[in-house]
Structure 1
Amino acid sequence: MSRLLPPLRRAARALLLPLRTLELLSGAKSFLDHPLIGSPRLNRLGLHVARVRLADGLARWRRRRLAHRVRPDWREAFDRDGFVAIPEVIPAEAFPALRAAILSYQAPAREMRQGDAITRRMAIDPAMLAAIPALRALLERPDIVALMHYVAGFRTTPLHYIQTIVSHVDGNEPDPQEAFHADSFHASLKAWLFLNPVSEDEGPFTYVPGSHRFTPERLDWERRRSLADPKAIDRMSARGSPRVSREDRAAMKLAQPRALAVAGNTLVVADTVGFHARGASARSGERVEIWSYARRNPFLPWLGGDLLSLPGLAERRVGWLWALRDRFEKRIGQPWQPVGVRRPVSD
């Protein structure tokens, strides 16, 4: 039987090759798990760099078609830096009531631990939107929707959560989010609307301005990283979320990172193909935000067509995703563990 296993494995790989080839035109990014994406021979021939260049060209093309709907000052800031920070995004007279409603709301929550930090999330679902109408109005505001579409590069509705970052919990493992990294090889959206002030020593969102652009230096770095042995580098880089060193950033002629110490009621929207990190926190504490995320297949040429963005479906997706991962936990994993009904901040 043992003699039959190698031929059977080779036959299985051959049968899967057409599917693996099609996955090259998707957001698949793991050098460790995908035989073509992680192929040294194909990457020496330019496979990874070709995927990066094509995805970037399509993202810029789609954004040009979405640009007219975005406030010019927001668009200019994003195009220059890769992120835009908008203070007092909610009228000052309306913000305290919305903040109080969110912080007092109770709902099922999930947590994931990374190093010495815990991330807690509550889905912004139909029940929360019905209980807090001002939250629905905020997420449907045309200027904010247009900005998120522009950064995502698609007319798609992000996944929305109430997110709490708990810093310096028990344990000595470092928080992997404190290392500068890109989320993938292509454009994607993340947004944070901070409900409390965040100082420079409280784990602020930190971004390398201009690092969302694929300059010749960035493309050379992408080529070199595609040739590294995925079994010899850190696991997150090998799985397609590359960590970047200070020396790498200098070689790419990038600006110094900018830590966004912000007041409450500040919205930050960023393309996380740029290098970013969670700043170091000097003390334990909890940071609460409205957190939004969108990432689609980067090789789609059209702007819309996302059926799950339709009203009535969009706000239910988080629950469906959690249920799907629960159902297939042994096969695909489920890092988000239920912790019961909670408020965003600890009692």
Structure 2
Amino acid sequence: MTQRSVQWWRYPGYAFGVLSNDKSFRKNPLIGHPYLNELGLHRERVRLAAGIARNRRKFLGRSLDQAEREQFERDGFVIRENALASDVFGRIREFLKNEPLPAREMRQGQTVTRMIPIGPQALQRLPDLAEFSDNRSIADLVRYVGGCGGDPIYYIQTVIAEPARKEADPQTALHADTFHSTSKAWLFLDDVGPDDGPFVFVPGSHKLTRERIEWEYRQSLIASNDARAHHADGSFRITPEELSKLGDYSPRKVTVPANTLVVADTYAFHSRAVSFRPTVRVELHAYHRGNPFNPLPLSGMSMIPGIKDRRLDIFLAMSDRKAKRDGRVPTWRDVGECTAYSEPHI
């Protein structure tokens, strides 16, 4: 079978991707097709996804405090202090400082990100973790901010900055994760100050303004050939100069005390702050992204019994097999057991 015929057989999958959360202009030739985007393909995907998310939030926000809904509508993120009971928070923090768990690490320039899944093994060793991963109030907020039903994925995240390495971390550039609303949550285990490599967010940039949709349209015409890999893969980067042309926006460092939950719509522009000294930031993390074109405020995946706490382990196992088949190192490398506060291994 010729390479050309193989590529043509893939087009039904590429077409299905247009109706899903696929975002790569480089990997999907329909999503990245200059002529289709000149006709408005990307622009209309953005508009349709935003409208569907807005409708789903009408249902998903019913259980939330009005003040938090208003904060999200204004800023695109919500800050909730004293998110866990102090005794529970203290036990979780003490355990993660001292007890090793199976971990993965990924390096991006000067930054190492460690992931410890909150799955059956971690929950068995520390049942208090369920106060985060099974917390109805936290899950409802994550769903609302992301405008998406279903269950988030939970893990313990450590971000380690090593500025002496000099290589740039691509996550320190302002960017949107994808073309539609998604949500991430961070429950910080330590105080986060302005020099601790904090989360940077552009308040209000989650709103689909006329200027934003026009900027999205312009990017869609050239993204497939952009030299920035993340940009070409649909996580659009934006410079401060470009941002200033979209409206009166000012990036803000999100500095908070320990035991604070931050939930953000990562369609808004955000980044990690550049660290000029070695820093370690540990948090309980939730990630939530679904099909932006599903009109219902629920997810079929949530209906499969016994899978909720195992989805991340399943994803990592599948990623390992794919990397082995392709003869490359997995993006998330298995580094054995370590504590959340351990030195990096890669």
TM-score, length-normalised on structure 1?
0.93
Count of paired positions: 341
- 2:336 paired with 1:340: yes
Q: 2:26 maps to what in 1?
A: 32
Q: Give, in whole Å, the separation in 2 of the partners of 1:258 and 1:309.
A: 38
Q: CA deviation at 1:296?
A: 0.8
In structure 2, distance between residues paired with 1:30 and 1:307: 23
Q: CA deviation at 1:76?
A: 1.0
C-alpha separation in 2, matches of 1:312 and 1:229: 40
One-letter code aligned to 1:285: T
Partner of 1:109: 103
Give secondary structure in 1 for the equivalent of 2:62.
helix
Task: Give the corresponding residue for 1:265.
Answer: 259
Matches within 5 A, 1:206-285: 206-228=200-222, 230-285=224-279
Distance of 1:108 and 1:121 partners within structure 2: 9
Pick which of 219-228 and 311-320 moved more: 311-320
Measured at CA, do residues 27 and 123 of structure 1 come closer, stay the same or move farther in structure 2, by a change above 3 Å? same
Gaps spanning 5+ residues in structure 2: where? none
Letter paired with 1:323: A
In 2, Cα distance between the equivalents of 1:85 and 1:346?
27
Percent identity between matched residues is 41
Offset from partner CA, 1:282-341 (integer Å, 9 cap, x none): 210211110110111111111113334656311111111111111111449720111111
Cα distance, 1:203 vs structure 2 = 0.7
Corresponding residue number in structure 1 for 2:161: 167
- Please point out which of 40, 46, 61 is paired with 1:46: 40
1:239 and 1:94 mapped to 2: Cα distance? 40
Say whether the 8 Å CA contact 1:110–1:122 is kept in structure 2. Answer: yes
Whether the 8 Å contact between 2:223 and 2:231 is mirrored in structure 1 is no
Q: What CA deviation, in whole Å up to 9, does each residue of 1:12-40 have, x standing for no partner?
A: 33333233222210111111121111111
Tell me, in whole angstroms, the C-alpha distance in 2 between the residues paired with 1:14 and 1:60: 36
- Give 1:170 deviation, angstroms: 5.3
Distance in 2 between residues matched to 1:138 and 1:229, nearest whole Å: 38
- 1:255 to partner: Cα distance: 1.7
What residue number does 1:153 align with? 147
Deviation at 1:192, TM superposition (A): 0.4
Per the alignment, residue 88 of structure 1 pairs with 82
Q: Which stretch shows the higher mean deviation, 324-333 or 79-88? A: 324-333
Structure 1 position 73, deviation (Å) = 1.2
CA RMSD of aligned residues (A): 1.8
C-alpha contact 1:208 1:254 (8 A) present in aligned 2: no
Separation in 2 of the partners of 1:267 and 1:320? 27
The worse-fitting range, judged by mean Cα deviation, of 144-153 and 86-95 is 86-95
2:117 is aligned to: 123
Q: Which residue of 2 aligns with 1:200?
A: 194
Residues 119 and 165 in structure 1, CA contact (< 8 A), matched pair in contact too: yes
* Higher deviation after alignment, 301-310 or 123-132: 301-310
Counterparts of 1:344 and 1:309, CA distance in 2: 31
Q: Check if 1:20 corresponds to 2:14.
A: yes
* Letter matched to residue 262 of structure 2: V
Match of 1:315 in 2: 309
**Structure 1: which amino acid aligns with 2:272?**
R
Q: Is the 8 A contact 1:189 1:271 kept in 2?
A: yes
What is the match of residue 139 of structure 1?
Answer: 133
Which of 70, 74, 94 does residue 76 from structure 1 map onto? 70
1:53 positional shift: 0.5
Match of 1:327 among 321, 337, 344: 321
Deviation string for 1:77-133 (max 9, x for gaps)?
Answer: 111111111111123344222211232232111100000010111111112112222
Q: State whether residues 308 and 317 of structure 1, in contact with CA within 8 Å, keep that contact through their aligned partners in structure 2.
A: no
Question: Aligned in 2, Cα 1:307/1:37: closer, same or farther, shift over 3 Å?
Answer: closer
CA shift, 1:9, in A, is 3.8
Whole-Å separation in 1 of the counterparts to 2:222 and 2:80:
39
Please give the secondary structure, in 2, of the residue aligned with 1:160: strand
Give the superposition deviation at 1:171. Answer: 2.1
Cα contact 1:115–1:175 (8 A) shared by 2 = yes
Give the counterpart letter for 2:121 in structure 1: A
Q: Quick one: which of 284, 290, 310 aligns to 1:290? A: 284
